[in-house]
Amino acid sequence: LGDVYKRQVPLSKCLDLTGKAPIGTRWVDINKGDNLHPEFRSRIVAQEINVNKREDLFAATPPLEAVKLLFSLAVTAGIGHEQGNKRGGKKLYFIDVRRTYYHAAARRQVFLHLPEGDREDGMCAELYKALQGTRDAAQNWEHAYCEFLESVGFMSGTATPCVFHNSEMDIYVVVHGDDFTVLASEGQLDWSVKRKRCF
């Protein structure tokens, strides 16, 4: 957990800055395998309860039409492929980012009660990475991937901020949470994946 929260801080810091007790946490265990071949994965989640509507914590999601547009472009002559050139067209690539929120910095002060075994009396934890279960985790992730994509030459769309285009490399990207749908030629995919410049 050391990569998620800063060193433990006095409980009084949380009370002074927020006027509230730290947010609760719990461990969530998921069996990604089956009963014969169990593969348990555990993650800690915050328990920040949604007690009031806050527009400032909004995170955008693309309309279904955004992904449909990439599918349409992929099969459109002159855009996704050239007549008589079956191997030279664009391809769709699907990326699922693992441990999504841990890639994003916390952008507000959030204090947590730590679970048993990692807790000290009179202390709590201050986040420096986004954590699932906090109300702004999705917004923090959106800020992180937008900042990164724009730093490598992508521009976000005007109709939805979840659609990106790199005009120099002619790569299209639609982002839905931790899922990236990419439309590019095979060489352009090599540029983005092998060099790890994009994802």
What's the CA gap between 126 and 107, in Å, rounded? 12
**What is the pLDDT at residue 170?**
86
**What is the pLDDT at residue 195?**
47
Q: Is 69 helix (H, G, I), strand (E, B) or coil?
A: helix
**What is the pLDDT at residue 1?**
53
Nearest to 141 by CA among 183, 97, 185: 97
Number of residues that make up the chain: 199
Number of H helices, E strands in the chain: 4, 10
**What is the pLDDT at residue 146?**
92
Positions of the chain with pLDDT under 70: 1-6, 51, 84-88, 190-199
Nearest to 50 by CA among 141, 178, 138, 179: 138
Amino acid at 85: N
Measured CA distances, 101 to 6, 104, 169, 172, 182 (Å): 16, 5, 28, 23, 20
Q: Is 39 helix (H, G, I), strand (E, B) or coil?
A: coil
What's the CA gap between 165 and 174, in Å, rounded? 9
DSSP assignment, residue 164? E
Q: State the distance between the two ends of the chain, measured CA to CA, in whole angstroms.
A: 24
Q: Label the pairing between strands 111-112 and 40-46.
A: unpaired
**What is the pLDDT at residue 163?**
94
